């Protein structure tokens, strides 16, 4: 065991499935290197649990390089823990002190039912995307994209919105469990570009309708989503979605 | 003509109320909150301006004229009804939205650190609003009920019958009590924080977010949120301590 390793107490939410009630279990994480990521710390704890013949903690993870958005953990009252602009896999144990007690919960939202322990079902996001988060007109081959001139600021703004990885931290952070930041980013990334503008009206109507049906809460502009977003998606997107939606519902033919 | 009008009302109604209609949607409900909020902000401005006439300090002469205008002008009297509707709509929407938001998170977090990502007053708008409503009920009883439903208030000191008071005199009387002054001042703190979030939030909800104008709106919001409640709070204080005679 190298010098400077930490011993931590973990209080982790354990829940069998969405139909059962969950509760906190306490685990001791011993000899944790400050250079480990938060997920690697969980790997160590799970290995220990498996060796002891106990059930490991279920948690989501995939790329472990901050771009897949799977690692949903609500750590000490904040999605993805205390650091800004990072996912859980990019959070390192040096952000904690030896002897700390860390409380880890799943995203809590009616629209994100718990699958097991810390893993939640985010297919509600998929259904919102399926409702309109696409371009259905033929946009041609790669070279054709250059036939339509797009001002650099517009392209940049669309790209910034497209940086959303759909992790759900916005919903987790929001006191109302609102998905407005996610949906607005997906509405914006297409509405800002000429190929996406064609279907912008119907898209925003359909996506907001699906968002409401999934049971997400309503935005009160606290800005918690923007502050906790690992990709720093801007609140301007929510204003754009509101604008697009209000205009579309006032002018739509049905 | 009549048919066209009826059809217009019907279409407008279905736009707002149908299953997929604007007001059934989350954004539509927020829109109504923002719109009524801005309307109530405009009311605060008028109310504050008229009441600030007491600071002319002429024994209430100018203020009483202002009060008489507000009490008798048909446009103002019509807007009074619109104002009540606006307040009720703002409250009802707030309740509907809050209940929906509660339902959206059936299992609460064991640990939350909201202070890390948002201001406390943006998270406690409902509580601040409730405090303002409680104040409003007492405030209406103090002044509005007395003016509208009793013969206690005379338009000017010259018209006053025995036992009658002018609006200015009524203010002096009410603000003699220390608890009233304290309550009014505390309520203005609630109002200030409610506005501090609400002012800029309303613009964001209406979709009015712009790189150039949003910083201006935010600054105007902060100035408004501090200035208006401070002027309001100065009224009971000035009357209580006889600075306004």
Q: What is the CATH number of the domain that holds A86?
A: 3.10.20.30
Q: Does A211 touch chain B (CB under 8 A)?
A: yes
Are residues A133 and A165 part of one domain?
yes
ipTM: 0.91
Per-residue confidence (pLDDT) for residue B15, from 0 to 100: 57
Interface test with B, best of A170, A202, A218, A227 (most B CBs within 10 A): A218
Q: What's the rounded mean pLDDT across residues B119-123?
A: 97
The domain total for chain A is 2
Q: Considering CB atoms only, which of B101, B107, B111 is closest to A76?
A: B111
How far is it, in rounded angstroms, from Cα A27 to Cα A100? 12
Are B244 and B237 in contact, with CB atoms under 8 Å apart? no
DSSP string computed for B8-29: HHHHHHHHHHSTTSGGGSHHHH
Chain A residue numbers with beta carbons less than 8 Å from the beta carbon of B21 are 249
Kindly tell me if the per-residue pLDDT of A15 is higher than 70.
yes
Q: Which of A24, A111, A243 lies closest to B110 in CB terms?
A: A24
Q: Are residues A61 and A136 in the same domain?
A: no
> Which contiguous run of DSSP H or E holds residue A84?
none
Of B28, B112, B123, the CB nearest to A77: B112
Q: How far is A246 from chain B (nearest CA, A)?
A: 7
A172/A232 same-domain check = yes
State the Cα–Cα distance between residues B109 and A173, nearest whole angstrom: 10
- What is the mean predicted confidence (pLDDT) over A167-195? 97
pLDDT at B9 over 70: no
Decide if B101 and A209 are in contact by the 8 Å CB cutoff.
Answer: no
Q: Which of residues 15-44 of A touch B (CB under 8 A)?
A: 22, 24
User: Which CATH number do you get for residue A150?
Assistant: 1.10.1060.10
Cα(A246)–Cα(A204) distance, integer angstroms: 10
Q: Both A18 and A111 in a single domain?
A: yes
Domain that holds residue A156: 122-251
Q: pLDDT tens digit string along B122-158?
A: 999 999 999 999 999 999 999 999 988 888 888 888 8
Question: What CATH code would you report for B25-240?
Answer: 1.20.1300.10
Same domain, A33 and A51: yes
Residues A240 and A137 in one domain: yes
Q: What is the pLDDT of residue A1?
A: 46
Q: Is A228 on the interface with B (CB under 8 A)?
A: yes
């Amino acid at each position: 065991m190298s010098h400077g390793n930490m011993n931590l107490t973990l209080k982790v939410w354990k829940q069998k499935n969405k139909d059962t009630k969950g509760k906190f279990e306490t685990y001791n994480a011993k000899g944790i290197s400050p250079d480990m990521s938060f997920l690697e710390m969980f790997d160590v704890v799970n290995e220990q649990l498996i060796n002891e013949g106990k059930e490991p903690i279920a948690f989501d993870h995939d790329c472990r390089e901050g771009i897949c958005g799977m690692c949903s953990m609500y750590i000490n009252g904040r999605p993805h823990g205390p650091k800004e602009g990072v996912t859980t896999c990019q959070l390192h144990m040096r952000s904690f002190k030896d002897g700390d007690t860390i409380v880890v919960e799943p995203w809590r939202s009616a629209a994100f039912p718990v699958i097991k322990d810390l893993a939640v079902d985010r297919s509600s996001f998929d259904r919102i995307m399926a409702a309109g988060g696409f371009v259905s007109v033929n946009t041609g081959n790669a070279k054709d994209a250059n036939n339509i001139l797009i001002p650099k600021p517009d392209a940049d703004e669309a790209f910034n919105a497209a940086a959303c990885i759909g992790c759900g931290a916005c919903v987790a952070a929001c006191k109302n469990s609102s998905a407005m930041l996610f949906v607005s980013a997906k509405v914006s990334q297409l509405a800002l570009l000429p190929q996406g503008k064609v279907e912008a009206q119907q898209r925003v109507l359909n996506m907001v309708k699906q968002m409401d049906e999934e049971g997400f809460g309503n935005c009160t502009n606290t800005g918690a989503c923007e502050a906790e977003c690992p990709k720093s998606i801007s609140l301007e997107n929510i204003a754009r979605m509101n604008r697009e939606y209000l205009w579309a519902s006032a002018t739509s033919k049905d | 003509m009549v048919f066209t009008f009826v059809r217009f009302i019907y279409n407008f109604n279905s736009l707002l109320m149908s299953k997929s209609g604007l007001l059934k949607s989350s954004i539509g409900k927020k829109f109504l909150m923002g719109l009524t909020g801005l309307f109530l902000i405009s009311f605060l401005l008028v109310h504050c301006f008229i009441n600030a006439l007491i600071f002319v300090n002429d024994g209430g002469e100018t203020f009483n004229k202002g009060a008489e205008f507000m009490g008798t002008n048909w446009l103002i009297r019509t807007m009074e009804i619109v104002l009540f509707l606006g307040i009720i709509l703002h409250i009802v929407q707030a309740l509907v939205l809050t209940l929906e938001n509660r339902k959206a998170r059936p299992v609460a977090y064991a640990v939350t650190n909201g202070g890390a990502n948002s201001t406390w007053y943006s998270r406690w708008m409902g509580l601040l609003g409730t405090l303002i409503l409680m104040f409003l009920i007492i405030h209406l009883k103090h002044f509005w009920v007395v003016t509208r439903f009793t013969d206690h208030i005379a338009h000017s000191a010259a018209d006053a019958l025995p036992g009658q008071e002018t609006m200015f005199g009524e203010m002096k009387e009410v603000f003699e009590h220390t608890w009233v002054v304290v309550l009014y001042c505390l309520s203005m703190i609630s109002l200030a924080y409610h506005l501090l979030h609400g002012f800029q939030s309303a613009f964001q909800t209406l979709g009015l977010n712009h790189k150039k104008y949003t910083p201006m709106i935010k600054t105007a919001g902060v100035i408004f949120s501090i200035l208006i409640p401070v002027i309001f709070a100065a009224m009971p204080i000035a009357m209580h301590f006889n600075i306004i005679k």
